[in-house]
């Protein structure tokens, strides 16, 4: 329901109004001490452990570094920390886990982690681990799996000696009926004899982009030295053979072949020219058409005893295999991963962030949701068995094209990242249009509610996989402050990504490292950048960008984040309230109320670059909870300066 309001044209009189005492009525309370409330609406800070804070000067951020900066995180209002993967890994980012039971020694020890959990808990800050379930790294499990058919880890991975045939036959559970099985993601784990020696008939159909190879006893033909457009390359480096045209765009030949690696089809007898057609994983099955791929041109092999594995992201990240989704919880991989999670739950973590959940069963929502429900239930059982209150917090990274596609994931998990919140917010901030923002947030809520009544909307600006908010907002400090203020006054569970609170910028196209920039704690001195291989935008990391400088500046991005976070943590309506849209008389102004247990606050943000004055019938502007930039009140009129924000107690 919307309330009626009136727009009055008034003169603009600005009064600095951002320094009123916090919580003037004394009604603020330490509500965030209640564990269940933290999960619903408390602020989570997202840390790239490798680039956050370095305790021992080796250039790598580490667990002790986080412990040493708990005051900073506490004062930023954090009730939880999401850590980038901390288990053993040989990549800087940690998303290829080599052993789910051990801590990456570069980041610290198990004792360091235990200490962090305990010291954070003393400040009512929980620790969320990043759990990678779609894939592991190439650790001991993987090596065992590919080296022995008798390995207990054999079923942990998606392995095949002939992926093309196995996918076609529906034998790969990982796909769960996917229409696009992503053949380009198959990698050869172990060479065997991939070639062939003997007489074969080749039929290449350029229209259908297939090659059909058949074992034959027919007489061999001489190579066609005048072949117009079709040559097989095989055997030694210069060995190639032209085919004969048998129909339009169809070429055939029977030849004796001797190759150790397979073959490739090329439209020229000169390797430097023409289009190369290869396979995109898998081997020839004699007598069956094999799909050609002219974008990867990987060797087309004859199988032999080669073993292929599926790695949807990268060769260093083989996908884990949980069997048919309906019974995933009974699979050996599931049990082992759940067992490892139990170790950390036992140690005292407060929740999990689940990586790439849309990929567990290759973008198959129904299968993924079923899997996640089984995973959540298993971990929650572990959680309760250890005497914890309530349910364990778990948030999924279900990266879909839109909120409608993501929403069903709420049937599997209590919380999911709302990428669409940020995509909407940045679009509106850059257009200077605020009047439909609250409506859009409520639209998302109605969507999520269809799948789970007690959904926890994990809202955010950018994260470690996206261009920085600062870049998307054209490095405009005023817009960055506004974005932070909007995030911290919105319903849901806000996540602040390391560096957003300092106004960092950075784009992915220069390398992911540039969106994972270290925290610059002091005006001078080194930043923890060893993991980033020198890919740090030092031009951005000026002295003014440092925590030290921004703490001393009441107008800094950091100070704005701290003020709004403090307000959220002191005013229960702001954190936990039910949102209600207030119809806005100015297109640039976003308006809503938040109400909880008799407390109501009015939230106003000006997304525009010029001042906006509004009058709201039935609303008071006499008790400011928090504000930023020029905000003034003249009797019944509220004037918001460019990109200004204000929250009023009603
Ligand atoms: Ca270190
Ligand atoms: Ca997968």
Over range 247-257, report the average pLDDT.
Answer: 96
Give me ligand 2 centre to Cα 365, in Å: 12
Helix (H, G, I), strand (E, B) or coil at 349: coil
Interacting residues of 257 by C-beta distance below 8 A, sequence separation 6+: 196, 197, 198, 199, 200, 234, 235, 263
* Domain final residue pick, 574, 594, 610: 574
Over range 331-358, report the average pLDDT.
Answer: 97
Q: Could you tell me if 240 and 280 lie in one domain?
A: yes
In a domain, 371, yes or no: yes
* CATH number of the domain encompassing residue 296: 2.60.40.10
Residue 279: what pLDDT? 79
529-574 pLDDT per residue, tens? 999 998 999 999 999 999 999 999 999 999 999 999 999 999 999 9
pLDDT of 415 over the 90 cut: yes
In a domain, 500, yes or no: yes
Known catalytic residue at 637: no
Over range 28-32, report the average pLDDT.
Answer: 38
* Domain final residue pick, 532, 556, 574: 574
Give me ligand 2 centre to Cα 91, in Å: 20
Among 19-28, 538-547, 624-633, 637-646, which stretch is predicted with the lowest mean pLDDT? 19-28
Q: Could you tell me if 109 and 72 lie in one domain?
A: yes
pLDDT of 187 over the 70 cut: yes
Residue 7: what pLDDT? 33
In a domain, 429, yes or no: no
Integer-rounded Cα Rg, in Å, for the chain is: 29
**Residue 589: in which H helix or E strand, if any?**
strand 589-596
pLDDT of 227 over the 80 cut: yes
pLDDT of 217 over the 80 cut: yes
Give me ligand 1 centre to Cα 284, in Å: 49
Residue 28: what pLDDT? 37
pLDDT of 22 over the 90 cut: no
Q: Could you tell me if 408 and 365 lie in one domain?
A: yes
In a domain, 299, yes or no: yes
* CATH number of the domain encompassing residue 127: 3.20.20.80
Neighbours of ion ligand 2 (CB under 5 A): 134, 319, 359
- Give the pairing of strands 43-47 and 78-83: parallel
Q: Could you tell me if 468 and 547 lie in one domain?
A: yes
CA–centroid distance for 494 within its chain: 15
pLDDT of 642 over the 70 cut: yes
45-73 pLDDT per residue, tens? 999 999 999 999 999 999 999 999 999 99
pLDDT of 320 over the 50 cut: yes
Give me ligand 2 centre to Cα 451, in Å: 23
pLDDT of 190 over the 90 cut: no
Over range 575-590, report the average pLDDT.
Answer: 96
How many Cα atoms within 13 Å fall on the side-chain side of residue 545?
20
Residue 174: what pLDDT? 81
Pairwise CA distance, residues 444 & 421, whole Å: 8
Residue 14: what pLDDT? 32
Known catalytic residue at 71: no
The pLDDT confidence band at residue 299, using thresholds 50, 70 and 90, is confident
Ligand number nearest to the C-alpha of 526: 1
Over range 607-631, report the average pLDDT.
Answer: 93
Residue 272: what pLDDT? 84
Calculate the alpha carbon distances from 233 to 191, 240, 247, 280 in Å. 20, 4, 21, 16
pLDDT of 3 over the 50 cut: no
How many residues are given for the chain? 650
Calculate the alpha carbon distances from 189 to 145, 161, 290 in Å. 10, 10, 21
| pTM of the entire predicted model | 0.82
Average model confidence (pLDDT) across the chain: 90
The pLDDT confidence band at residue 38, using thresholds 50, 70 and 90, is low
Q: Could you tell me if 344 and 265 lie in one domain?
A: no
Q: Could you tell me if 94 and 178 lie in one domain?
A: no
What domain range is 302 assigned to?
140-311
pLDDT of 20 over the 60 cut: no
Q: Could you tell me if 369 and 514 lie in one domain?
A: yes
Q: Could you tell me if 333 and 414 lie in one domain?
A: yes
pLDDT of 170 over the 80 cut: yes
Q: How many domains does the chain have?
A: 2
- The catalytic residue among 397, 472, 501, 581 is 397
Give me ligand 1 centre to Cα 105, in Å: 10
In a domain, 35, yes or no: yes
| DSSP E strands, 365-481 | 393-396, 415-417, 456-460
pLDDT of 179 over the 70 cut: no
The pLDDT confidence band at residue 280, using thresholds 50, 70 and 90, is low
| Residue 10 vs residue 349, higher pLDDT | 349
- The catalytic residue among 205, 319, 355, 435 is 355
* Domain final residue pick, 521, 553, 574: 574
| Residue 513 vs residue 634, higher pLDDT | 513
- 625: exposed, middle or buried (Cβ count in 10 Å: 0-12, 13-18, 19+): buried
């Amino acid at each position: 329901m919307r309330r009626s309001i009136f727009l009055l044209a008034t003169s603009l009189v600005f009064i600095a109004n951002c320094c009123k005492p916090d919580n003037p009525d004394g009604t603020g309370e330490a509500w965030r001490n209640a564990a269940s409330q933290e999960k619903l609406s408390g602020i989570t800070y997202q840390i790239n452990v490798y680039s956050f804070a370095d305790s021992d000067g080796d250039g790598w951020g580490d667990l002790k570094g986080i412990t040493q900066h708990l005051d900073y995180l506490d004062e930023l209002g954090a009730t939880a920390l999401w850590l980038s993967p901390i288990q053993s890994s040989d990549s800087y980012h940690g998303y290829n886990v080599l052993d789910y039971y051990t801590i990456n020694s570069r980041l610290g020890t198990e004792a360091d982690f235990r200490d962090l959990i305990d010291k954070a808990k003393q400040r009512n800050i929980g620790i969320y681990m990043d759990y990678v379930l779609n894939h592991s790294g190439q650790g001991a499990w993987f090596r065992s799996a590919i080296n022995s058919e008798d390995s207990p880890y054999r079923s942990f991975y998606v392995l095949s000696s002939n992926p093309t045939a196995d996918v076609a036959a529906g034998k790969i559970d990982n796909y769960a009926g996917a229409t696009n099985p992503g053949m380009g993601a198959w990698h050869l784990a172990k060479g065997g004899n991939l070639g062939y020696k003997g007489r074969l008939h080749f039929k290449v159909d350029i229209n259908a982009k297939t090659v059909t190879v058949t074992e034959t006893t027919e007489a061999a033909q001489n190579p066609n030295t005048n072949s117009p457009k079709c040559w097989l390359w095989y055997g030694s480096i210069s060995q190639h053979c032209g085919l004969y045209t048998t129909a339009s765009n169809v070429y055939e030949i029977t030849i004796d072949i001797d190759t150790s690696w397979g073959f490739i089809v090329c439209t020229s007898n000169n390797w430097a020219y023409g289009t190369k057609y290869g396979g995109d994983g898998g081997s020839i099955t004699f007598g069956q058409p094999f799909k050609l791929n002219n974008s990867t041109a990987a060797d087309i092999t004859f199988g032999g005893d080669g073993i292929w594995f599926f790695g949807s992201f990268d060769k260093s990240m083989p996908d884990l295999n949980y069997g048919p989704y309906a019974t995933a919880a009974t699979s050996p991989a599931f049990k082992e991963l759940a067992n490892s999670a139990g170790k950390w739950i036992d140690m005292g973590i407060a929740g999990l962030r689940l990586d790439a959940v849309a990929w567990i069963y290759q973008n198959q929502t129904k299968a993924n949701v079923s899997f996640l429900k089984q995973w959540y239930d298993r971990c929650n059982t572990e959680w309760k068995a250890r005497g914890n209150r309530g349910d364990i917090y778990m948030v999924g990274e279900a990266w879909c094209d839109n909120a409608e596609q993501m929403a069903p994931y709420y049937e599997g998990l209590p919380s999911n990242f709302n990428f669409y919140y940020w995509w909407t917010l940045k679009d509106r901030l850059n257009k200077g249009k605020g009047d439909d923002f609250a409506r859009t947030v409520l639209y998302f809520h109605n969507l999520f509610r269809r799948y789970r009544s007690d959904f926890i909307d994990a809202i955010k600006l950018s994260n470690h996989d996206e261009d920085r908010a600062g870049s998307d907002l054209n490095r405009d400090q005023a817009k960055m402050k506004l974005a932070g203020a909007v995030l911290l006054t919105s319903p849901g569970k806000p996540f602040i990504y390391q560096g957003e609170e300092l106004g960092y910028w950075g784009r992915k196209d220069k390398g992911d490292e540039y969106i994972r920039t270290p925290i610059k704690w002091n005006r001078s001195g080194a930043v923890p950048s060893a993991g980033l291989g020198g890919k740090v935008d030092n031009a951005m990391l000026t002295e003014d960008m440092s925590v030290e400088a921004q703490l001393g500046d009441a107008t800094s991005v950091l100070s704005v984040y701290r003020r709004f976070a403090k307000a959220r943590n002191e005013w229960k309506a702001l954190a936990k309230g039910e949102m209600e849209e207030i119809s806005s008389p100015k297109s640039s102004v976003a308006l809503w109320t938040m109400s909880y247990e008799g407390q109501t606050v009015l939230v106003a943000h000006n997304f525009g670059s010029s001042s906006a004055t509004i009058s709201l019938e039935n609303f008071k502007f006499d008790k400011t909870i928090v504000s930023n930039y020029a905000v003034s009140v003249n009797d019944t009129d509220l004037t918001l300066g460019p990109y200004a924000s204000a929250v009023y107690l009603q």
